[in-house]
Amino acid sequence: MHPSLKVAVQSAFFMFAIPLLHAAPAGPDPWARVPVLTTGCYQSSDDFETRLAAAQEAIARDLKRQEEINSALSEELKTIDPMELATRQQKYMMENPQEAMALMQRNQTLGENAAAIGEQNAARRLALAEERKAIDARYKAAVDAAMKPFEAKWKDLEARANKDKSVHTEAGTYTGWALQESQELVRQENAAFEKVCPQYWSATGAYPGWLKRFREQVTAEIPQLEEADSVGAGFIVMLISTPGKSWQSTAKFRAVRDYLDATWKVFRERPLKARTLM
């Protein structure tokens, strides 16, 4: 079970005091930090990894900042006299009976569904992970198949070059006709790979398609986790939040972090650069 869901089930007392209109106003959308996916075949063909790393660092800072605020508010809440908390709880229930009943229902519903929701999300993420492994296997097989014909060509070139000492330099590299043929083979290898590349890295390729489905999954989890976070927050939202120091669910930050991490793992599969002669 996700920690937030577990906290929610254990926080019935605080549930009565979470009118969500007191929660922190929505700030900049964390998803706005996500860079547009690249379609380049090689890491060196663009600065995507640099932009991705910057986004990961920014989200990590945002998440840490909000976690620190939430933690500080939680600790501050513990310093408030329990009788004062009980008085405010009772006052809220008397002044807002319909809202209080609705909040009780939210707590009950969350408690009943928390385990099932957690299991469903874990199963969906596991299925996505298995799907990603299958794409990795197909990608490797496709690249290997594209490169296979060149094994015999390189062996043939090596055999012919070994019979012609004039094409060998002191540094152990080829010159003359052997160098020209080597350069042509490398060009052909790159061309062969670049025919495979769009199937996996273009906007409609296998990897962006998988990332789209992963993003849909983590996005679908956000409302559930925000609800769990809100239940766990209890009196924090109503009693001690201020405009400059407001409790806020970190669910969306965590979703974006997970998506960026998945994107990093996917795009590091791209070759660093096109093949060249050693």
The parent domain of residue 262 ranges over 3-34+41-142+211-267
- Strand residues in the chain grouped as ranges (E): none
Q: Is residue 70 over pLDDT 60?
A: yes
Give the number of other Cβ atoms within 10 Å of residue 50's Cβ.
11
The pLDDT value given to residue 83: 85
Looking from the CA of 197 toward its CB, the CA atoms found within 13 Å total 18
Q: What is the pLDDT of residues 153-183, one digit of tens each?
A: 999 999 999 999 898 888 888 999 999 999 9
Q: Is 20 part of any domain?
A: yes
CA distance 208 to 202: 7
Q: Helix crossing, 206-233 with 176-201: angle to 10°?
A: 40
* pTM of the predicted structure, to 2 decimals: 0.81
Domain annotation covers residue 261? yes
| Domain annotation covers residue 194 | no
Q: Is 245 helix (H, G, I), strand (E, B) or coil?
A: strand
**Residue 198 located in a structural domain:** no
Q: Token pair 């299991």 is at which residue? A: 119
Task: Look at the chain and report how many structural domains it folds into.
Answer: 1
Per-residue pLDDT tens for 46-66?
Answer: 999 999 999 999 999 999 999
Let me know if residue 23 belongs to a domain. yes
* Residue 183 lies inside a defined structural domain of this protein: no
Kindly report each contact of residues 92-100 with a partner whose C-beta sits within 8 Å and lies 24 or more positions away, as own/partner. Answer: 92/16, 92/17, 92/19, 92/238, 93/16, 96/19, 99/19, 100/16
* 18, pLDDT greater than 50: no
154, part of any domain = no
Per the prediction, the chain carries an average pLDDT of 84
Is 165 part of a structural domain of the chain?
Answer: no
